[in-house]
């Protein structure tokens, strides 16, 4: 009937002896009015009456207390004079305790700098592909299908999809094809290998990257126009004024520059693109059909305004499937769907045929870490301020006696901490500027501070204020609560309480540090473990080169001459570098294989000859492929140990394996080697001769160990230039690309170490201050103990004992958390360490050492003081 809030309001607001009566009046009037003017009107009047009753004369006396007790009007405490007074007092307090202030400022500065850097990173992640004017209408088309019981999604689509979507669905404003590509670009005597893409003309309409020159609508509509980025124009022509100039691709077709793109921002998935070619210039390679069965392109879709993408999903769901009927065996589960631009970067992890949270998890984790680092810095501030509070207690007492209101005192202390934070902020800004290049190296980003923008300074100011409030509020309330009678009499707050908030905060700091130390150690162990894993081939002196330009035609001579000139001891033509999987194959059959075996996926590799000799893989049985000596070897195949095991072959040599519509003869078995990730279990591998459907367009070269690498490269370059003068000699070392497999983990490791270091540093600053304070407070006690014969070590023990206790408690809390978190992390790796007790022992020992080092300086100082000095005053 009546609203409940009104009842609470009345109870809270009114003097208890009036509340009953007023409530009755309200009820009675309400009853009458329901009959007179109807329920709705009555309710409305009820509300009006409640509001009209909010008068001082009816108010609860406690709400009026201040008015009743203050007979003299209080001056408003936020007058300019008072504010300048607060600042002055704050400054004097700062100057009086320089050591304490610098500890505080340094801790806050480091904390603020670290968390601000992380926030910058987070911001760049969150804005990824979200800055187009049409972002909310942009989608990428994905496929979904079920393969051997597993739902899978993938983002490459058939060529006819985009035109079909655009034509047949009125909800879709535009749909374009997009296909990344790479070319050797030539302009005059400048040659440059570059990444770019083919795209339909309206690409720049969907993605509004800024075009410095050229007509947005037309740049991609011709047949032989090319759009290049500013950076590429400068590299090729030495100027950005390149409209109309000619670029040759792979020494074949010439394109004239129709547009100059501003360099693409780093936070887009197109950031690698340095040139765009019109889709019509795209020539379909032999292995890539124009039909609906071949998925090799991206399709981007622009929906019309206010169109619900779920409804569109429902309409287009069966589009590819319908075109694939009769072409592909089973299309019952094939679907297409739209993936919104705002989720491309952060929500693109495949799980059970869905795209779900991916990088967003890392972003959240970093957010938590940033917040915790800031919090730890704030905790230092809180601890040091409350510890020092007795020094300020008299001041509080005097101010209160002189008539200061509590709110005025709170404001004073908060403004003091904001001032301190402000100084830290300046220092933090300096730190950020110094650290940003390194941070960018580590994270692979191009973050920067935009000093020119107002919003940047606004955000910085807000950040400083926030930190100031975070750090300063508790001490302010704590100090402002002191009772003048007590502090003026000299009664101190209890220092030795069993549990004080201060101790709790120190434990929290330590716990965080311990979790991070555990994380650092586990990550380091895991990387070492994987790095020491036997790779199964010889990574030294091995390099790969793509057979570009004329090289495929002259491969025989190239191979011979490399060996003759002494640059190499073995050369092999292959499907790709041995450090990456270039192809996968399923649908194999062999003697004794079942229908289910067709689902087994093999990593596929192909070579013409000298595969073992070049890569250094070990032969276990049979012989290796050699098409030069045995021409029939072009349909020979080698298996790795895992393949033999998976296929249950008792006598593998001589067995016939069928795939690619051909029979292959097994001629040898090689020892397992790491093709893909050193963290994963090894897959079954096929190494077959050149007769397959895959092109052998790479060469692996085993350099001559008798020469230096530089000599070998020089010789090799001469040979490559001889047969392929139009192209630069480009190569990759096997050991480098193997090392790159650890890049992600190395980055994680580096960042965790960094966070750990920071956390420990900031915590230690606080600890240092606290220890100094404790030592100072117990000067007299120590003096008495020394006079009575206590030894110096026993006094040091006395002072460090408390902190060690806190550390041990933190360890007990932090160790399980760290163990759990890292166990979860390790689940992602097949080839992984078990977390042993060693990690925890090491964590405890190292943190003990750190705490001891931090605290003992103060303890020793205190213990060495001559008691005559400390006791003289009494």
Partner 1 sequence: MKGTYLGEFEEVVLLAVAIRSGDAYGATVVTEIEQQMKRSVNLGAVHSALNRLGEKGLVTSELGGMTAERGGRRKRLYSVTAAGRRALEEIRQVRNQMWESIPNTIWM
Binding residues for partner 1, rule: CB under 8 A, are 20-22, 24-29, 32, 45, 48-49, 51-55, 57-58
Cβ of residue 131: shortest distance to partner 1, in angstroms? Answer: 54
CA of residue 369 relative to chain centroid, distance: 11
3-state secondary structure of 609: strand
DSSP 425-479: HHHHHHHHHHHHHHHHHHHT------TT-HHHHHHHHHHHHHHHHHHHHHHHHHH
Q: What angle do CA 272, 275, 277 make, to 5 degrees?
A: 125
Cβ of residue 56: shortest distance to partner 1, in angstroms? Answer: 9
Give whichever of 48 and 304 is closer to partner 1, judged by the CB atom: 48
> What distances in angstroms separate CA 565 from CA 292, 710, 714, 730, one per listed residue?
49, 14, 11, 19
Sort strands 254-261 and 225-229 into parallel, antiparallel or unpaired: parallel
Nearest Cα neighbor of 323 from 518, 163, 103 is: 163
Cβ of residue 57: shortest distance to partner 1, in angstroms? Answer: 5
Nearest Cα neighbor of 144 from 275, 301, 295 is: 295
The beta strands (E) that lie in 615-712 are given as: 619-622, 636-640, 656-659, 662-670, 685-688, 698-703
Entry field: residues in the chain? 874
Nearest Cα neighbor of 471 from 551, 383, 399, 584 is: 383
Nearest Cα neighbor of 572 from 536, 608, 606, 543 is: 608
Nearest Cα neighbor of 152 from 320, 293, 352 is: 352
Give whichever of 52 and 494 is closer to partner 1, judged by the CB atom: 52
Token pair, residue 595, equals 């229908």
Cβ of residue 73: shortest distance to partner 1, in angstroms? Answer: 23
DSSP run (H or E) holding 277: strand 275-278
Cβ of residue 8: shortest distance to partner 1, in angstroms? Answer: 18
Find the distance separating the first CA and the last CA of the chain, reported in whole Å.
74
Cβ-Cβ contacts under 8 Å for 347 (sequence gap 6 or more) = 355, 356, 357, 358, 360
Nearest Cα neighbor of 559 from 711, 699, 709, 734 is: 699
Give whichever of 51 and 371 is closer to partner 1, judged by the CB atom: 51
Give whichever of 58 and 427 is closer to partner 1, judged by the CB atom: 58
Cβ of residue 50: shortest distance to partner 1, in angstroms? Answer: 8
Q: Round to whole Å and give the CA distance between 202 and 210.
A: 14
Cβ of residue 376: shortest distance to partner 1, in angstroms? Answer: 52
Cβ of residue 19: shortest distance to partner 1, in angstroms? Answer: 10
Cβ-Cβ contacts under 8 Å for 260 (sequence gap 6 or more) = 211, 212, 213, 214, 227, 228, 229, 230, 233, 240, 242, 243
Give whichever of 18 and 861 is closer to partner 1, judged by the CB atom: 18
Cβ of residue 54: shortest distance to partner 1, in angstroms? Answer: 7
Residue 696 in contact with residue 573, Cβ under 8 Å?
Answer: yes
Q: Round to whole Å and give the CA distance between 813 and 807.
A: 10
Cβ of residue 759: shortest distance to partner 1, in angstroms? Answer: 58
Cβ of residue 466: shortest distance to partner 1, in angstroms? Answer: 41
Give whichever of 26 and 110 is closer to partner 1, judged by the CB atom: 26
Cβ of residue 40: shortest distance to partner 1, in angstroms? Answer: 15
What percentage of the chain's residues is helix, strand, coil (to nearest 5)? 55, 15, 30
Q: In this structure, how many other beta carbons lie within 10 angstroms of the beta carbon of residue 37?
A: 12
Cβ of residue 31: shortest distance to partner 1, in angstroms? Answer: 9
Give whichever of 48 and 88 is closer to partner 1, judged by the CB atom: 48
Cβ-Cβ contacts under 8 Å for 596 (sequence gap 6 or more) = none
DSSP run (H or E) holding 177: strand 172-187
Nearest Cα neighbor of 442 from 736, 753, 738, 751 is: 751
Cβ of residue 311: shortest distance to partner 1, in angstroms? Answer: 51
Cβ of residue 64: shortest distance to partner 1, in angstroms? Answer: 14
**Sheet of strand 732-733, all strands in order from the earlier edge strand to the far edge:** 568-574, 698-703, 542-546, 732-733
Give whichever of 19 and 87 is closer to partner 1, judged by the CB atom: 19
Nearest Cα neighbor of 763 from 118, 106, 107 is: 107
Enumerate the β-bridge partners of residue 328: 325
DSSP run (H or E) holding 276: strand 275-278
DSSP 297-341: BEEEEEEPTT--HHHHHHHHTTHHHHHHBTTBS--TT-EEEEEEG
Cβ of residue 35: shortest distance to partner 1, in angstroms? Answer: 12
Give whichever of 27 and 168 is closer to partner 1, judged by the CB atom: 27
Cβ of residue 51: shortest distance to partner 1, in angstroms? Answer: 7
Residue 254 in contact with residue 196, Cβ under 8 Å?
Answer: no
Nearest Cα neighbor of 500 from 802, 847, 812 is: 802
Nearest Cα neighbor of 86 from 420, 412, 477, 476 is: 412
Q: Round to whole Å and give the CA distance between 549 and 572.
A: 18
Cβ of residue 72: shortest distance to partner 1, in angstroms? Answer: 24
Residue 376 in contact with residue 763, Cβ under 8 Å?
Answer: yes
């Amino acid at each position: 009937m009546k609203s409940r809030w009104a009842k609470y309001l009345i109870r809270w607001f009114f003097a208890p002896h009036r509340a009953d009566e007023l409530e009755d009046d309200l009820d009675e009037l309400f009853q009458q009015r329901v009959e007179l003017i109807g329920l709705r009107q009555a309710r409305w009047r009820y509300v009006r009456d409640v509001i009209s009753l909010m008068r001082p004369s009816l108010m609860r006396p406690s709400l009026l207390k201040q008015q009743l007790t203050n007979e003299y009007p209080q001056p408003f405490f936020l007058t300019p004079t008072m504010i300048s007074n607060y600042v002055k007092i704050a400054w004097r307090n700062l100057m009086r305790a320089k050591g304490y202030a610098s500890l505080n400022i340094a801790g806050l500065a480091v904390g603020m700098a670290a968390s601000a850097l992380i926030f910058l990173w987070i911001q760049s992640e969150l804005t990824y592909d979200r800055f187009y004017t049409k972002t909310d209408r942009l989608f990428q088309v994905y496929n979904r299908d079920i393969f051997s019981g597993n739902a899978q999604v993938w983002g490459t689509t058939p060529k006819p999809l985009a035109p079909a979507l655009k034509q047949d669905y009125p909800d879709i404003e535009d749909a374009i094809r997009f296909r990344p590509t790479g070319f050797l670009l030539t302009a005059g005597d400048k040659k440059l290998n570059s990444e770019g893409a083919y795209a339909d003309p309206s690409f720049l309409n969907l993605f509004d990257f800024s075009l410095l020159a050229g007509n947005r609508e037309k740049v991609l509509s011709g047949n032989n126009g090319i759009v290049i980025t500013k950076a590429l124009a400068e590299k090729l022509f030495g100027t950005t004024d390149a409209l109309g100039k000619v670029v040759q691709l792979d020494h074949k077709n010439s394109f004239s520059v129709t547009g100059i793109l501003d360099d693409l921002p780093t936070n887009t998935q197109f950031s690698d693109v340095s040139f765009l070619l019109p889709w019509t210039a795209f020539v379909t390679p032999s292995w890539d059909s124009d039909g609906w069965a071949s998925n090799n392109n991206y399709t981007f879709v622009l929906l019309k305004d206010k169109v619900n993408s779920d409804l569109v999903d429902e309409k287009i769901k069966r589009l590819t499937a319908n075109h694939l009927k009769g072409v592909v065996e089973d299309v019952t589960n094939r679907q297409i769907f739209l993936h919104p631009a705002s989720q491309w970067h952060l929500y693109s992890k495949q799980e059970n045929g869905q795209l779900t949270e991916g990088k967003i998890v890392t972003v959240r984790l970093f957010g938590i870490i940033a917040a915790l680092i800031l919090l730890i810095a704030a905790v230092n501030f809180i601890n040091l301020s409350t510890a020092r509070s007795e020094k300020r207690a008299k001041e509080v007492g005097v101010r209160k006696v002189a008539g200061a209101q509590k709110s005025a005192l709170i404001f004073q202390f908060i403004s003091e901490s904001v001032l301190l934070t402000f100084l830290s902020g300046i220092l933090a800004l300096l730190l950020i500027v110094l650290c940003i290049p390194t941070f960018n190296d580590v994270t692979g980003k191009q973050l920067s501070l935009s000093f020119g923008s107002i919003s940047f300074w606004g955000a910085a100011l807000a950040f400083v204020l926030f930190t100031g409030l975070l750090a300063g509020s508790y001490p302010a309330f704590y100090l402002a609560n002191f009772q003048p009678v007590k502090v003026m009499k000299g009664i101190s707050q209890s220092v030795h309480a069993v549990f004080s908030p201060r101790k709790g905060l120190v434990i929290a700091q330590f716990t965080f540090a311990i979790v991070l130390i555990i994380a650092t150690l586990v990550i380091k162990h895991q990387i070492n473990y994987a790095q020491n894993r036997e790779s199964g081939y010889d990574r030294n002196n091995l390099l790969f080169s793509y057979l570009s330009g004329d090289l495929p035609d002259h491969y025989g001579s190239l191979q011979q001459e490399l060996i003759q000139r002494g640059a190499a001891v073995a050369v092999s033509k292959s499907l790709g570098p041995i450090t990456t999987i270039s192809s996968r194959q399923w649908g194999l059959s062999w003697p004794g294989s079942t229908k289910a075996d067709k689902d087994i996926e093999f990593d596929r590799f192909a070579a013409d000859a000298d595969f073992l000799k070049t890569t250094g893989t070990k032969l276990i049985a049979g012989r290796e492929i050699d098409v030069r000596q045995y021409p029939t070897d072009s349909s020979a195949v080698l298996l790795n140990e895992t393949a033999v095991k998976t296929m249950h072959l008792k006598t593998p040599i001589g067995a016939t394996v069928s795939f690619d519509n051909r029979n292959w003869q097994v001629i040898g078995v090689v020892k397992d080697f790491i093709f893909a990730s050193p963290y994963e279990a090894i897959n079954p591998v096929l190494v077959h001769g050149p007769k397959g459907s895959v092109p052998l367009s790479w060469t692996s070269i085993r350099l001559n160990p008798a020469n230096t690498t530089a000599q070998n490269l020089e010789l090799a370059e001469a040979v490559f230039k001889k047969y392929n003068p139009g192209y630069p000699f480009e190569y990759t070392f096997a050991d480098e690309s193997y090392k790159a497999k650890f890049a992600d983990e190395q980055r994680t490791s580096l960042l965790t170490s960094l966070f750990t270091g920071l956390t420990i540093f900031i915590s230690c600053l606080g600890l240092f201050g606290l220890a100094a304070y404790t030592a100072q407070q117990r000067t007299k006690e120590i003096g008495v103990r020394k006079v009575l014969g206590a030894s110096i070590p026993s006094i040091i023990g006395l002072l460090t004992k408390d902190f060690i206790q806190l550390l041990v408690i933190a360890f007990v809390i932090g160790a399980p958390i760290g163990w759990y978190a890292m166990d979860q992390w390790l689940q992602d790796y097949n080839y992984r360490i078990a977390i042993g007790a060693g990690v925890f022992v090491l964590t405890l020992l190292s943190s003990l050492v750190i705490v001891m080092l931090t605290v003992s300086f103060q303890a020793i100082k205190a213990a060495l003081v001559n008691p005559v000095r400390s006791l003289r005053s009494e």
